[in-house]
A and B are shown apart, each in its own frame.
Chain A
Amino acid sequence: MSRAAYLRLATLLLVWAAWEALARSGLVFQGVVPSSLTVLASAASELGSSNFYPHLWRSAEEIGVGFAIGSAAGVGLGTLMGVAVFLGRMAHPYIHVLAPTPKIIFLPVLMILFGVDIGSKIAMGAISAFFPVVVATYDSVRLVPPVLLRVARSFRASRWQTVVKVYFPSMLPAVVTGMRLGLGVAIIGTLLAEIKLSNRGLGFLAIQRYEGFHIPDLYAVLLIIFVLAVAANIAIGRVADRLQRRHVISRRTPSR
């Protein structure tokens, strides 16, 4: 293990120890800071109960479908904006203003448009994922090295061949990085929407535990969400790293 990995592990253990010390010190109410062992036991019983899985699948469906729609729209529009200069100039300012806006403010509108059920949650995931993906895609089109386009032209590649064989592979690592960010915010957006108004999903489960004041169960649900989000991020990161490795262009220095 590297030194940085040791440090990270040490930090984790330190925070855990501090939490445990606080829980056992009697300084704070047991219900607010329960022992980590209680939380782990709650997590185990959540995972062991058949009641838990419908919520998990519902959230997974909302996030998955929303992320897929948002990414596809982002890649499509981003590519068009990059390729058609006019469209890029027109849409770019709007996208840049909307990108950092918290998407949760659109939830009421989305509920009116898509209903209070699964529709608005998917829409929330989709618009959350859309922005990082469209921005990354648009930038990546314009970063395709011009010399590679000249190579394609000199070999008389058709427009379609140029898009598929030069533009797309060149854009891929940046687009995957955008999708990685997109997945993160899609998870956030969807769970926020569930917490706000729903009767199913992990966000709903968390808020239900909170309202019943089952604090260890609340922490258990949060822990499960956290672990799942980290796992999803690691999975997409693996894909990104593999793509990135191929794209390392060593700088052009005088060398043999």
Chain B
Amino acid sequence: MAEYGRDCRAQPFMTSGHGSAQASAVLTAEGIGKRFGSGATAVTAIDEVTLSVKQGELISVIGPSGCGKSTLFNIIGGLITDYEGEVRIDGRRVSGCHPDIGMVFQEESTFPWRTALENVEFPLEVRGLPAAERRQRAQQFLGLVGLTEFADRYPGELSGGMKARTAIARTLAAHPKILLMDEPFGALDEQTRLLLGDRLSQIHRELGQTTLLITHSITEAVHLSDRVVVMSYRPGRIKRVVDVDLPRPRSSEIIESEQFGHLVASIWHDLREEASRGLAADEASRRSS
């Protein structure tokens, strides 16, 4: 209940000072750090993370599991409020959940008692839109993710990929300027993920939302992004930022290209060391527990 006790409405965004980042950056994170616990068992989840995302840009954050990706996502989205550093939108410092940010969670997050359409209507209900308008807007976004036929199905009747798309449509329906996605296709197989990636790419082209995509898939990162942020393991820091200068529009067929292969190899080169440290740490913690 502690989580829900921190009511987002209680803390609308605050303004402080001026934007220090470049003018075109819609979203900036400066010197973000977060520790969990205290004393000997304290874990520094992320440390000194600074990044800025330009208007309409799609940036991926990639790193081994446990490196603090979800922590960063929750801090930028305003669900974690005690952290070091600053999050800025259009140069203004924000705290708490901001209406300009839309979040898509890593876990399965559709409401099982609502149909796909009713799920997408949720944020519109919260805002008090009239029923007819709500329905129409929800149908539009469900169409955008290719689920028009499944509007009246409950999540229990949908596949994993369809549920992920429903969650994305729900967030898009709220019209956020900035889209944060935490491994939205994390539980899906590689082929499905590539096809849904194409869909996401197309949506990004149509809506032009500034997007921060968290992923553990190198292929997905290179396929979709303008830039890929590679994170280190414990503490989670930015290890390298890779510009993906592949032509757009892109489709998943781009994975056949030589340039794509080079980018994947280069990211894996950096990630490999971090991933093996993550694996070793995970095995060590299982041994001792």
Contacts and interface: CB of A to CB of B under 8 A. Distances in A.
A156 B99 contact: yes
A253 B154 contact: no
B203 interface: no
Given A147-B107, A253-B187, A155 B174 contact: yes
A199 interface: no
Interface stretch (A12-20, A91-99, A157-165): A157-165
A238 interface: no
B126 A249 contact: no
A252 B123 CA distance: 24
Contacts, number: 109
Given A146-B3, A147-B108, A246-B112, A156 B8 contact: yes
Interface string B54-98: 000000000000000000000001110000000000000000010
Contacts of B122: 151, 155, 165
B155 A249 contact: yes
A103 B123 CA distance: 46
Contact of A158 (B9, B105, B123, B154): B9
Contacts of B108: 147, 249, 252
Interface string B97-119: 10101110101110111100000
A155 B96 CA distance: 11
A256 B8 CA distance: 34
Contacts of A157: 126
B145 to A, nearest CB: 14
A83 B1 CA distance: 6
A150 B99 contact: no
A49 interface: no
Contacts of A246: 112-113, 154, 156
A161 B159 contact: no
Q: Interface range on chain B: under 10, 10 to 19, 20 to 34, or 35 or more? A: 35 or more
Contacts of A239: none
Given A254-B188, A255-B159, A256-B160, A248 B112 contact: yes
B127 to A, nearest CB: 8
A150 B155 contact: no
A246 B116 CA distance: 12
B149 interface: no
Contact of A153 (B8, B114, B188): B8
B236 to A, nearest CB: 20
Interface string B1-13: 1011011110000
A249 B112 contact: yes
B123 A155 contact: yes
Interface stretch (A166-174, A178-186, A204-212): A166-174
A82 B156 CA distance: 26
A50 interface: no
B160 A255 contact: yes
Nearest to B119: A151
Contact of B105 (A147, A245, A250): A147
Interface in B145-202: 154-156, 159-161, 174, 187-189, 191-192
Given A169-B113, A170-B113, A249-B112, A153 B4 contact: yes
B112 A156 contact: no
B154 to A, nearest CB: 5
A254 B189 contact: yes
A72 interface: no
A85 interface: yes
A253 to B, nearest CB: 7
A148 interface: yes
Given A150-B79, A151-B105, A256-B191, 18 more contacts: A147-B105, A149-B3, A150-B3, A150-B103, A151-B122, A153-B97, A154-B78, A156-B97, A156-B126, A157-B126, A158-B7, A165-B126, A170-B113, A249-B112, A250-B155, A252-B160, A254-B187, A256-B159
11 contacts: A146-B3, A150-B103, A151-B111, A153-B3, A153-B6, A154-B101, A155-B126, A166-B111, A170-B113, A254-B160, A256-B160
Interface of A: 82-85, 145-159, 161-162, 165-166, 169-170, 172, 245-250, 252-256
